[in-house]
Structure 1
Amino acid sequence: MFRTLRNRWNRKHLKDERFAFLFEEDQSGEVVVFDCETTGLDPKKDEIISIGAVKIKENRILTDEAMHLFVRQEKQISHESITIHQIRHCDLEDAIPIEEAIEKFLYFIGGRTLAGYYLEFDVAMINKYTKPMMGITLPNRQEEVSAIYYDKKISTIPQGNIDLRFEAIIDDLALPKLQAHDALNDAVMTAMIYLKLKHTTRLRDA
């Protein structure tokens, strides 16, 4: 009910009718898993460096349709940020403006459900740009993989602490690891987590 009311208000404030499709009921049956690499962890002051996204259709991750965008930076990237994602300012010479990246991303996701690891942050980073550009925040349904993992894991260790670190979840689910802190790789690994959790009734005890 709350989501319906919020989206009704959101739709009313859409400034660019090209993106009215975001509010349409998705008929594809697909889920989009995405991840952003950023200059920091504060959506108010930090910027998106890259966006990686993949679609899931039934039991398949559609890697052949993956999206990996690099965003041009107006300011120099800090050394602390570079040590995490290994993207330097000079690596972005052929990157695209953030407005173009956001539009490409929106056309990619359409009205599909979004999934991610600590998705709230990535959505906040996207909303930072959609709000001034189009007057809206993302109206898509959202699924947080760490919450799905927690709900399935808690029954095995009700009195214990559940390790929700990304690497710990990957290890516990016995999934392959790709190079971390790469937006597309992180999106693909998160998609693997999402699929395994969706097809697992109960997780084993640690």
Structure 2
Amino acid sequence: MSLFSWLRAKKPRLDEAQQQRLAELRGPSALGHGTLRSQRWVVVDLETSGLNLNRDQVLSIGAVVIEDGAVDFSQMFERTLQRTATKLSPSVLIHGLGPSAIAAGSDPVDALLDFMAFVGDSPLLAFHAPFDQHMLGRALMDSLGYRLTHTFLDVAEIAPLLCPEANIREAGLDDWISHFRLHVGERHHASADALATAELMLILFSRARQQHIDTPQTLQERLSQWKRRKQAPSF
């Protein structure tokens, strides 16, 4: 086997029905000038076998939809992916994903096709989004040969952008939940964490409108400007 053939990624094997579903997936829409309220947002949270970006795998996906200024409880998503050959780290057990739950999970190809059909052309929100974006993107490429190009916005960055007075810039989700005195149910599994993130995001959308950030595109632009200022060297 040559070096180049070893480096070449294996092409996923999809049956005819799965190939048809893959072909029917909608591509992302650009963030537009409509209102924040009118935009359909998908809030996603992943549970993974660990934190290694290149080795660990997605074990479960939870997502909820924000639309018309509220969480739409008729649009919720939750799947555990079958990963029979995956070695679980002790932290996975915190999320209730033991070996039996994972062995009984959905086929990863079908679960990921279901999720991307659920997402449609909507932008995604996540807390610490770069991790979720990378892990989801790698799972989609490995299982479907699908390149994820949807917009991801990071709630962990939006919160300090809009609430600088909180002075908890490096905070986790629990810190922001406590700051706003949100009453959330159970935590630490994908769908519950996605819902908690969505409830936080509703507050942040209200803060955005108060600061005359009225469109998804404006929010993305302000976030990019804030990140550049934060990364700029100080003299």
TM range (shorter): 0.7 to 0.9
Q: How does 1:93-104 map to 2 (within 5 A)?
A: 93-104=103-114
Q: Does residue 74 of the first structure (1) align with residue 84 of the second (2)? A: yes
Tell me, in whole angstroms, the C-alpha distance in 2 between the residues paired with 1:145 and 1:98. Answer: 27
Q: Which moved more, 1:133-142 or 1:170-179?
A: 133-142
2:149 aligned partner: 139
For 2:194, the equivalent position in structure 1 comes to 187
Q: Is the 8 A contact 2:47 2:59 kept in 1?
A: yes
Partner SS for 2:73: strand
Match of 1:57 among 61, 67, 71: 67
Q: How big is each residue's C-alpha offset from its partner over 1:80-110, in whole Å with a ceiling of 9 and x where there is no partner?
A: 1333212111123431111111111100001
Tell me which of 96, 99, 119 is aligned to 1:86: 96
Aligned counterparts of 1:199 and 1:113: Cα–Cα separation in 2: 18
TM normalised by structure 1 equals 0.80
2:137 to 124, 127, 145: 127
Which is further off, 114-123 or 68-77?
68-77
Indicate conservation of the 8 Å contact 2:40/2:122, yes or no: yes
For residues 151-170 of structure 1, what are the alpha-carbon distances to aligned partners after superposition, in whole Å with 9 as ceiling and x for unaligned? 1222x26xx55341111100
Residue in structure 2 matching 1:22, options 23, 27, 30? 27
> Is residue 177 of structure 2 the alignment partner of residue 170 of structure 1?
yes
Q: TM-score, length-normalised on structure 2?
A: 0.70
The 8 Å contact of residues 52 and 67 in structure 1, kept in 2 or not, is answered as yes
Instruction: Report the secondary structure of 1:168's partner residue.
Output: helix
Equivalent AA in structure 1 for residue 72 of structure 2: L
Match of 1:198 among 199, 205, 208: 205
Distance 1:170 1:57, change over 3 A: same
The answer (yes or no) to whether the contact 1:153–1:162 under 8 Å persists in 2 is no
What are the ranges of 5 or more consecutive residues in structure 2 without an aligned counterpart? 1-18, 212-235
Contact 2:58 2:139 in 1 (8 A): no
Compute the RMSD of aligned alpha carbons.
2.4
Going from structure 1 to structure 2, the CA distance change for 1:140 and 1:167 (only over 3 Å counts) comes to same
SS at match of 2:162: helix
Q: Which residue of 2 aligns with 1:10?
A: none
| Residue identity in the other structure for 1:22 | G
Output the CA distance in 1 between the equivalents of 2:145 and 2:99: 30
Q: Given that residues 53 and 134 in structure 2 are in contact (C-alpha distance below 8 angstroms), is that contact kept between their aligned partners in structure 1?
A: yes
Mapped to 2, the partners of 1:123 and 1:33 lie a distance apart of 12
Highest CA radius of gyration, 1 or 2?
Answer: 2
Contact 2:84–2:102 (8 Å) recurs in 1: no
**What residue is the counterpart of 1:46 in the other structure?**
56
Work out the number of aligned pairs and report it. Answer: 184
